[in-house]
Structure 1
Amino acid sequence: MGGKVKIVIDDREYEVEEGRTVLQAALENGIEIPFFCYHPRLSIAGSCRMCLVYWENIKRLVISCNTPVQEGMVIRTHRTSEAVRENQRYLLQALMTRHPLDCPVCDKAGECDLQNYGAIYGPQRQVVPISALEKEREEHDWESDFLEYHSNRCIVCYRCVRACNEVVSAHALYVEERGFHSNIVPTVRPMDTSVCEMCGICVYVCPVGAILSKPFRFWTRSWLLRRERTRCNLCPMGCEVTVEFGEGDWRSKRKVYRIMPTDDLNICAKAFFGYDLLNRERLLTPTAHGKEETPANMVNLLKSLLSDSSGKVAFVLSGYVPNEIVEDVVAVADAVGAYLTAPQTADFFKLAEVFGDYVPPTLEEIRDSDFFLLIGEDTTSTATVLSYYIEGKVYRIGDYVRDGKLKPQQISVEEVDGLEGRGTLVVSAHSFQGPQAKEMAERLRRWSERGHRVLLLPREGNTYGLYRRIRELYSDVEAVMGMVMGGEIETLVLIGEDLTEYYGEDMLAEILSRSKHLIVASPFSDGLAGKATFRIPMALMGETPGSFTTLLGEVKGRSFLPWSFDDLSFWRRLRDSFGEVRRGVRRIRVENPTPLRPEVHLYRNSWITARSENLTRLFEKNAGVREYRI
């Protein structure tokens, strides 16, 4: 870290880190400077000129976003400099002259930087006699059902292109022409089946209404929605996101309208366009034999049923439930002498056991790598945001679809020993099961002993936490399902619907039909819950304050959606109902389990994302595409 320098902004002295820009120093000290093209995670473009300040030492106007701080620097912003105010007004006038000023029908209204700055710093009107109909630029149809581009609203800040290139590495957009004739154009059309990953970051970083989400268009106004931050648990990254929702009053309907990233820009299509799964066929109240029950009554019913089961019970855990629920279910299984399993015991667990108490490398460690080796199915499809941090030399073992953006060099297993430096080996855990998993696990152990980091990559949001809590207690999922088929297990408790990804529809129907009592905890009222005798709601993002073990560390969700069911309290109450009773968790293993490989796609990586109509449409459009090229 560099030293400190003293600068003066608007007659007040500040001590700031050397190497910071004037804009960064001002923002960090609560001094507002308007800008359009700057973003903390993107490179400096300096194209909008809106962040002008007056540098008294050299008696010149400079752009603050690209001016490093210097010892003794004296800066004046719009608050103390008429020259700055005059130039910012002129810039806003120039932008307003070309802008259609169609705020009443624009979905960006209320959160548009041009609209807001016009009210604060300049005329909120045009100063030349040009009608909106004359403000026409060449229109470009992106040929997308999900993204819409309005060229005459674009202020040429290039944030969208920089984000697509520098953060996502998709290179799905480029700038055509120059100046006010510039247009943002897709590199490939139609866009929905192009290299674009539909992460929605271009929509978020656009300071005006030039790029919009079509599914959100015309549904509501931004000021009518409530916004809260939480953690996404749809993959192992654990990204912080903002959920925007209505509470069912006069302002908006009782639903989630969209999910946006924070300025970290950590988001993918699963969250950005998958927000609608939070509204679909939700199970919000416990039911028994088709009748709604209070949580307290359901606890009593389940305690009675499980206590009388003579140990013929199996709990099937999910990689999407928080650590607190995993711990409570383990305690209940211990109290009734049940078996404990999860579908992830067929793949991730078999790889992780070689490392004992496996702990994934941190994001900082991942970024500090001499090279990356991707093994198994697409990393981009499995944990999209992780691919944003894979830079430099990339090698690959196995076929890929979306990982092509990383420009990987195909190598064989034998060539790994010849790679120089310390690398991070990213292994899609669902690609290896049975004897194949054991063979790969031994290779990974040898490579890790040579100094390489091994990142076992599951599909789910809390498989790391699940493994850490049941690795000494679990039974193989195939062995447990065999006991159900043989009548040795009569009561099957499914927390989540992960089983649907490992077994075919006919096989799963046969397994469920053999269980005498089927208890399902699910966010959705249809699916497996529709076949269950006892149904318990399961919380999704924005509905649980539980903790998840992710690549960003141990993170906690938040519960704020008005319809949330408190499943953490429910499982804790069930656990407490057994008191100090302990019969021990039973275990059964199989030597060579049959591979049960789930399908993974950028737009469908789980039974949860399969509920999103937006993602389903994208999945169906891209189902037959095996190669994406610019």
Structure 2
Amino acid sequence: MPKIIIDAVEYEVEAGQNLIQAAASVGITIPHYCYHPGLSVSGNCRMCLVEVKGPRGVMAQIACSTPATEGLEVMVNTDTVKKMRQGVMEFLLLNHPIDCPICDQAGECGLQDYYMDYGLYTNRSTVPKVKKNKVVDVGPLVMLDQERCILCSRCVRFCDEVTHSNELVIAGRGEKCRIQTFPGKQLDNPYSANVVDICPVGALTSKDFRFKKRVWFLSTAKSVCTGCSKGCNIYLDHEKGQVYRYRPRHNAAVNDYWICDEGRLSYKVLNENCLQEALIHGEAHPYSTVLERAQAAIAHTLEKHGKVAIGALASPHASLEDNFVLQDLLGQVLGPDQVWGPAHQELGSSDDFLRQADKTPNRAGLAFLGISTDPEATQKQLANPELKLLIILENNCEEAAFDQLLQTHRPTLIYLGSKQNRLAQKADYTLPITNHAEQYGSYVNSEQRLQKVYRALLPSGDAQPGWQALLSLLKPQLKATPSYSDVEDVWGQLREKIPALKGLSFYELPEDGLSLLPTETEVLVAEEVGNV
């Protein structure tokens, strides 16, 4: 690892980094606009100018294109460096509109932040500002303000290098330069809204989020997108029980710095049709009443028809913890063969980047628990006329599959879900449970990576975490009641089920997740055992 000197202090940094990355790794911020770690280096904003000692003395260099090599000596906070940054800021602000009070980027704007550190605070210009188009509709999700643009070229490089869709270009010369789409094209690729995230100023804004909420009012939680099986890492921004947006959270092993537009907008389902009350045949009743009647229905079915008359559907939408508790508790009551996977597949559009055809976030989690994910096998179980009572956990199968089930025969339905959907209305007994934004939990993505989500919102109405509602529902039938009081207690049992979790608590799960794939050593051992 090379050793470099920054402001007379020696640091050891990783090989292959540029100066911005190396400085950041030791807690030193070098200001920049055009540089982004997920894109190529363009070096056009000049904000990252530093002084570097070399054979010919001290020279000004841009940090983004200067590799951190052994013995490099850099000054990042001298008076000369600060003066250079002030000059860059003055140039950028020369024609920049004073839109801060109405700009959506206010509060998370690089231009605002660096002005407070390096701004000249006095305008020396005596000529009128150059006017450009203020409202340019460049695509279904993105609005462009050409006057606010500082021509960092991040958005252009994103469309060229990441999506390879090449919609954006810098046109014009000199002060007339502007970002625009190519004639006849729109910014409409499946990842278009990422240009809003990487824009350092308020030039590119989200049509969905524009003018909705000042960012300083929002609270942020780390979470995972549940729109498909990829499990992209996100920041969930919310206030007063309402989610306002998803933003991508860096995870090099999953989604890098990006998320798709479909997943980005999937936050809306968290604000719609939340199930807050317990129901009997679609009508609201006190939670305790519904729980008692559902428990009585289970007891009656067991007494009259035996264990084979009761089954349960695990859910690829529910967390690993919820599905594990369903499997664990019903295994104690009925045996291991009465918990089945989803009765259908939820498929949609996909590509070779992030979007997955499987639109469920935890199908791989069911497989790790040993629950079948074969829809045909589940459909055969549902068609069995001996099935008298069915417990359904967080399931979106509301139309054809259950209509067919109800036409064949009519078991008693106990539904635990977070949405006021058709299944909640059709079920005999419905208990509200929390969604992924209202609880601590984990999901296994399509690449067998276990990732955790943090609770961002308080539960809606009477909703409880799925594992807690299941424990209450099945408690009368259990010989010994598990001591599940929080997600960590559930993990105490999960660790016995999944060897990769041994010695690891929920809160110790790495922020970038944990791969559940066998290591090379484990594969070799398994092969040797197989050859014996």
Pair 563,188 (structure 1): closer, same or farther in 2 beyond 3 Å? farther
Shift of 1:19: 2.2
Identify unmatched segments of 5+ residues in structure 1: 248-253, 349-375, 388-427, 429-457, 583-630
Pick one of 211, 218, 224 that aligns with 2:211: 218
Displacement of 1:567 in angstroms is 2.3
SS of 2:311's equivalent in the other structure is strand
> Per the alignment, do residues 122 and 526 of structure 1 end up closer, same or farther by CA in structure 2, a change over 3 Å counting?
same
Residues 431-442 of structure 1: matches in 2 within 5 Å?
none
Count of equivalent residues: 460
User: How far, CA to CA, are the matches of 2:160 and 2:425 in structure 1?
Assistant: 44
2:80 aligned residue: 83
Report if the CA contact (8 A) 1:237-1:552 is conserved. Answer: no
Q: Where does residue 385 of structure 1 map in the other structure?
A: 354
**1:367-398 alpha-carbon deviations (Å, 9 max, x no partner):** xxxxxxxxx98532xx85168xxxxxxxxxxx
**Aligned CA distance change for structure 1 residues 47 and 377 (closer, same or farther; 3 Å):** same
Match of 2:405 in 1: 511
- In structure 2, what is the equivalent of residue 59 of structure 1? 58
Between 1 and 2, higher relative CO (CA 8 Å, sep ≥ 6) is seen in 1
Aligned partner of residue 11 in structure 2, secondary structure? strand
- Counterpart CA distance in 2 for 1:91 and 1:495 is 57
Q: Distance in 2 between matches of 1:573 and 1:545?
A: 18
Cα drift, residue 232 of structure 1: 1.8
TM-score by length of 1: 0.67
| Distance (Å, rounded) in 2 between the aligned partners of 1:277 and 1:167 | 28
Please name the residue that 2:383 is paired with: 482
Tell me what 1:260 maps to. Answer: 247
Structure 1 residues 185-334: aligned runs within 5 Å: 185-187=180-182, 191=186, 194=188, 196-247=189-240, 254-263=241-250, 264-289=256-281, 290-294=283-287, 298-309=290-301, 310=305, 311=307, 312-334=309-331
Does structure 2 conserve the Cα–Cα contact (< 8 Å) formed by 1:170 and 1:197?
no
Report what 1:175 is aligned to.
170
Confirm or deny: 8 A CA contact 1:147 1:214 kept in the other structure: yes
Q: One-letter code of the match for 1:476?
A: A
1:548 aligns to what SS in structure 2? strand
Alignment of 1:443-592 (within 5 A): 458-471=358-371, 476-483=377-384, 487-500=385-398, 504=400, 508-512=402-406, 514-550=409-445, 551=447, 553-563=449-459, 565-580=464-479
Matched residue SS, 1:109: coil
Report deviation, 1:515: 2.3
- Deviations along 1:258-286, whole A, 9 cap, x unmatched? 11012432311233122211111111343
Shift, 1:569, TM fit: 2.1
| 1:116-131 alignment runs, 5 A limit | 116-124=113-121, 126-130=123-127
Deviation digits for residues 179-198 of structure 1 (CA, Å, limit 9, x no counterpart):
54333333575637x4x114
Query: Which whole-Å deviations, capped at 9, do the CAs of 1:109-149 have from their partners, x for residues lacking one?
Result: 01100011111111356431355xx4312568335342101
Q: Which residue of 2 aligns with 1:351?
A: none
1:539-593 deviation per Cα after TM superposition (whole angstroms, max 9, x unaligned): 33322322211126111111121235422322244455432489xxxxxxxxxxx
Q: d(CA) in 2 for partners of 1:70 and 1:234?
A: 42
Take 2:59 and 2:171, find their aligned partners in 1: how far apart are those partners? Answer: 32
Q: Confirm or deny: 8 A CA contact 1:307 1:336 kept in the other structure.
A: no
* Aligned equivalents of 2:121, 2:221: Cα separation in 1: 30
Change (3 A) 1:174 1:145: same
Partner of 1:152: 147
Deviations 1:326-376 (A, max 9, x none): 1222234331468433336x669xxxxxxxxxxxxxxxxxxxxxxxxxxx9
- How many angstroms does 1:75 deviate by? 1.0
Q: How many Å separate the matches in 2 of 1:581 and 1:188?
A: 70
Structure 2 unmatched runs, 5+: 251-255, 482-532
Residues 318, 45 of structure 1: alpha-carbon distance in 2 compared, 3 angstrom cutoff: same
CA-to-partner distance for each residue in 1:448-478, whole Å, 9 max, x for gaps?
xxxxxxxxxx331111111232446988222
* Counterparts in 2 of 1:189 and 1:568: CA distance versus 1, 3 Å: farther
Q: Distance in 2 between matches of 1:523 and 1:347?
A: 20
Partner of 2:73: 74
The AA in structure 2 aligned to 1:511 is L
Separation in 1, partners of 2:373, 2:190 = 39
Instruction: Report how far residue 298 of structure 1 moved.
Output: 4.9
Report the aligned-residue RMSD: 2.9
**Matched residues in 2 for 1:552 and 1:85: separation?**
48
Aligned: 1:39 with 2:8: no
CA 330–299 in structure 1, closer or farther in 2 if over 3 Å, else same: farther
Equivalent residues of 1:10, 1:76 under 8 A apart: yes
Q: Using the alignment, how far apart are the partners of 2:272 and 2:61 within structure 1?
A: 51
Going from structure 1 to structure 2, the CA distance change for 1:266 and 1:54 (only over 3 Å counts) comes to: same
Q: C-alpha displacement at 1:102, in angstroms? A: 0.4
Confirm or deny: 8 A CA contact 1:546 1:568 kept in the other structure: no
Q: Deviations over 1:484-528 (max 9, x none)?
A: xxx53332332233324xx53xx6435346424222222211332
Distance 1:530 1:129, change over 3 A: farther
State the alpha-carbon separation in 2 of the partners of residues 539 and 162 from structure 1.
Answer: 40
Instruction: Say whether the 8 Å CA contact 2:229–2:360 is kept in structure 1.
Output: yes
Residues 69 and 198 (structure 1 numbering): CA distance in 2 closer, same or farther, change over 3 Å?
Answer: closer
Aligned counterparts of 1:99 and 1:552: Cα–Cα separation in 2: 47
Secondary structure (helix, strand or coil) at the match of 1:283 reads coil
More displaced stretch, 553-562 vs 333-342: 333-342
Paired AA for residue 53 in structure 1: V
Report the 3-state secondary structure (helix = DSSP H, G, I; strand = E; otherwise coil) of the residue aligned with 2:20. Answer: helix
In the aligned structure 2, how far is the partner of 1:469 from the partner of 1:552?
Answer: 12
Correspondence 1:9 to 2:6: yes
Contact 2:220-2:456 within 8 A present in 1 as well: no
Tell me, yes or no, if the aligned pair for 1:340 and 1:473 is still in contact at 8 Å: no
- Secondary structure of 2:223's counterpart equals strand
One-letter identity of the residue aligned with 1:65: C
SS of equivalent residue, structure 1 residue 151: coil
CA–CA separation in structure 2 for the residues paired with 1:12 and 1:528: 64
1:109 aligns with 2:106: yes
Deviations 1:200-233 (A, max 9, x none): 2111111001111112111110001111111222
Partner of 1:184: 179
Cα contact 2:228–2:355 (8 A) shared by 1 = no
TM-score normalised by L of structure 2: 0.79
Q: Counterparts of 2:416 and 2:69 in 1: how far apart (Å)?
A: 59
Rounded Cα–Cα distance in structure 2 between residues aligned with 1:476 and 1:581: 31
| Alignment check: 8 A CA contact 2:223 2:233 kept | yes
Select between 509-518 and 321-330 the one with higher mean Cα deviation: 509-518
Q: Distance in 2 between matches of 1:319 and 1:113?
A: 40
